[in-house]
Amino acid sequence: MTATLRQTAPTTASRILGVGGLRGEDVVPNDEIVGPINSSDEWIRQRTGIVSRRRAKPTTTLADLAEGAARAALDAAGIDASQVDAVLVSTVTYFEQTPSIAAVLTDRLGATPAAAYDISAACAGYCYGIAQADAMVRSGVARHVLVVGVEKMSDFIDPTDRTISFLLGDGAGAAVVGPSDVPGIGPTVWGSDGAQSRVIFQTEPWLAFRRAAGEGVPAGLEGVSWPTLRQEGPTVFKWVISQMPDVARRAVAAAGLEMGDIDVFIPHQANMRITDQLVKLLKLGPEVAVGRDIAETGNTSAASVPLATERLLREGAAKSGDVALQIGFGAGLVYAAQVVVLP
């Protein structure tokens, strides 16, 4: 090899320039969903902290939710769609294998010809996206990256399922990441444990559904129906409590900080009891603002961390410049944590 390649000129630092969110239009209180699972408003409040969840109308599409959140984030960042170089959409509820919803969203926003692709990392998806956006901006491969976490979980719920469906909500959260004079996104601590892939899962693979629907029901596929989600709730709960505090501590240390430097804690909105346990195990004091969006939004998977961020900022519990520790974890199993400076 004789030729010497040129590489992109790196940028010193990146930060989140703006966040935005959009929740499903309908407020669905516990009382509306307890019948088919023989539960109660009291049980759900006590065991999960959820009072109501937001669900999108049947006519509202995943792209509608993503576009609303993305436009709000662009507005907050003061960035025009034409300035976006890459669009990353994290979701596990898009029905089309290809093209990506990121490409569709990019066109809707007027961000063409930005690079566009989807990320499948369930409830860690937004934090995975922030990790990638940070790396892209710092390496110089993109100047402004739009990261969206969007889910219409209601398309994957089984109203008779007691394991996960009652937790789930619909919405989208987005962030614009761009260059910065000082670091605004710390190193990401992330990983996976595929040996636990059946702990949170889709009931049937699409192929089984297709065979059962289109070709008569072959042996072994009796009972195959529209795939929905299930989980081994207590197993997930224990995994989060035993593993995620260390991931969170490593993210804080990697950013060169101590837990006492954290102003805001934004965990994935899985269960209020999980959030409370993490706050306790990380020894976060009462002065730390904590994302508790789950109470009124439910668990929106990839959208939950940015939606919780959006609420904290909108309601004034957190402010621009605050140092936030965010952590996502979920089906895979996968996880990602990083410290960010709030826009």
**Of the two residues 43 and 209, which places its CB atom closer to ligand COA in the complex?**
43
CB 151 to ligand COA: min, Å: 11
Size of the site for ligand COA (CB under 6 A): 19
Amino acid at 284: L
The mark string for 272-301 relative to ligand COA (x by CB under 6 A, - otherwise) is --x------------------------x--
Among 263, 259, 308, CA closest to 49: 308
CB 313 to ligand COA: min, Å: 23
CB 200 to ligand COA: min, Å: 5
Please pick, from the candidates 267, 330, 332, 343, the single residue that binds ligand COA as defined by CB under 6 A. Answer: 330
CB 330 within 8 Å of CB 190 = no
> Residue 6 burial (CB < 10 Å; 0-12/13-18/19+)?
exposed
Is the torsion defined by CA of 208, 104, 121, 269 positive or negative?
A: negative
The mark string for 32-51 relative to ligand COA (x by CB under 6 A, - otherwise) is -----x-x---x---xx---
Measured CA distances, 27 to 53, 272, 326 (Å): 6, 18, 26
**Of the two residues 64 and 155, which places its CB atom closer to ligand COA in the complex?**
155
CB 196 within 8 Å of CB 176 = no
Please identify, among the stretches 181-189, 202-210, 267-275, 288-296, the one whose residues bind ligand COA according to the rule CB under 6 A: 267-275
CB 267 to ligand COA: min, Å: 10
CB 51 within 8 Å of CB 45 = yes
Please identify, among the stretches 95-103, 242-250, 268-276, 315-323, the one whose residues bind ligand COA according to the rule CB under 6 A: 268-276
Torsion, Cα 41 42 47 49, to 10 degrees, reads: 70
CB 306 within 8 Å of CB 149 = yes
Catalytic residues: 123, 268, 299
For residue 91, state whether it binds ligand COA (rule: CB under 6 A).
Answer: no
CB 334 to ligand COA: min, Å: 10
For residue 63, state whether it binds ligand COA (rule: CB under 6 A).
Answer: no
Please pick, from the candidates 166, 190, 265, 335, the single residue that binds ligand COA as defined by CB under 6 A. Answer: 166
CB 89 within 8 Å of CB 150 = yes
Pairing of strands 145-152, 86-90: parallel
Helix (H, G, I), strand (E, B) or coil at 254: helix
For residue 233, state whether it binds ligand COA (rule: CB under 6 A).
Answer: yes
| Interface residues toward ligand COA, by CB under 6 A | 37, 39, 43, 47-48, 123, 162, 166, 200, 231, 233-234, 236-237, 270-271, 274, 299, 330
